[in-house]
Chains A and B, each alone.
Chain A
Amino acid sequence: MLAATQYGNYGLWSPPMVSVHGDGVDSLITTLHWFMFLLFVPWAIFFVYCLVRFRRRAGHTASYTLPKAKISKYGEIAVVIFEVILLVGFSVPVWAEYRTRPPVREDRLEIRMVAQQFQWNIHYAGPDGRFGRTSAEFISDVNAIGLDESDPAAADDVQTINDFHLPVGKDIYVRLTSMDVVHSFSIPTMRVKQDVIPGMEIPVWFKIKEDATSENLRAEMTRAYPIGRVRWDRLRHHIATEDYKDRTGQVLLAKGGSLGGTFKAGAELIDKLRQAGVAEISMQPRHPLELVCAQLCGNSHFTMKAQLVTHTPEGFDEWIAEQSKEVTFDEDF
């Protein structure tokens, strides 16, 4: 049973969109592409018409007289006017919201994010709302951000690696910095991107739509894939929503299982499923949202991502409360 699409799915056009300000971003992108289409198509028709009509042929000579084409002037004025509208009417207002109007301190969830090759170190203030002191001298394998545990404010702090939990419907304010090279904090599904620059702390803020919890998104993104179209490359981050067995009843792909860790393993499993007569597989993303790095940061840059888990506000409070100061690290991710 497929869920109705509200936030969209991954595919040919924009990825799913779950942030409040993201509608403005998408609206501008859509408007711009219609504008480009409406400019290009008549232009291209005129171009092809000229190529055909004014080809060299017997009895046809070129005209020395230049056409008095006022349409070009009007066209250019129209382009300028439209660009002004795009800039003033669309881009500036959204950017102002995105860059210059941070949510008030009392209403926001503040998070520190320290990027390093090739992981996201996430620091939550914990229930007391105060961040513990950090220093490079305390950095270790289990204390990536160098939290000073002697600081009372650090007592209830939570730090995670590549495991980014957020509440929906609440203003999120992330203070970004890097300990080594330039990274870029990018959540494609939230239309958020901000370079993370060592030596600087740069904030970014956004709000996730009310019902965009990971649970809802996972259900919405569940799809039945015909076995002929199942590719490991395409679905390597998905899990099955039910068991798939061979004719003897042996489970080939269990509910919650993936197609395997490598292309070869995936290809073999898909082949077995096909031979077992499985017509289609119902799958959903293991983690529907991801935080990735958008700025080249070294040889494993492409692996620098965090699973992004969205909770209801109550669910988020419960999650925070459950966390100890120990680093949580999803090794499968």
Chain B
Amino acid sequence: MERIEIEPTSTTPRINFRPEEGYFEIAGKSLPENSFEFYKPLLDFMEAYAESPVKNTSLVFKLQYFNTSSTSHFLRMIKKFERITVDGNLAVVHWFYDEDDEDMKEAGEDFKVLSKLPIEIIGAQLD
């Protein structure tokens, strides 16, 4: 599979998907007017990857702001990778939040409740 690298805009996040390393990162602001249009191709890509993943997969979120329609897509992304673990491979979500940003921390905790994947919630100094 080819890598996907999308530069951030004022309303869409930076996308850095490196399937050969099992590394999938979404970073920045996610406020697309049409979140389906932005996330659908990425979700399709992740679904195809989940068919034949590498041994260890990491789904990394480093977000500042997102709208609620993006939230539903993040949950879909996480759920796409739940199937990876069925065949004995590993998949982990790394949910980074800015140390001051309680709201982003709570959003990670919400996903933890709704997902079977392990979700590590990590406070850090984000750009």
Q: Do A and B bind each other?
A: no
Q: Which residues of B contact A (CB under 8 A)?
A: none
Q: Which residues of A contact B (CB under 8 A)?
A: none
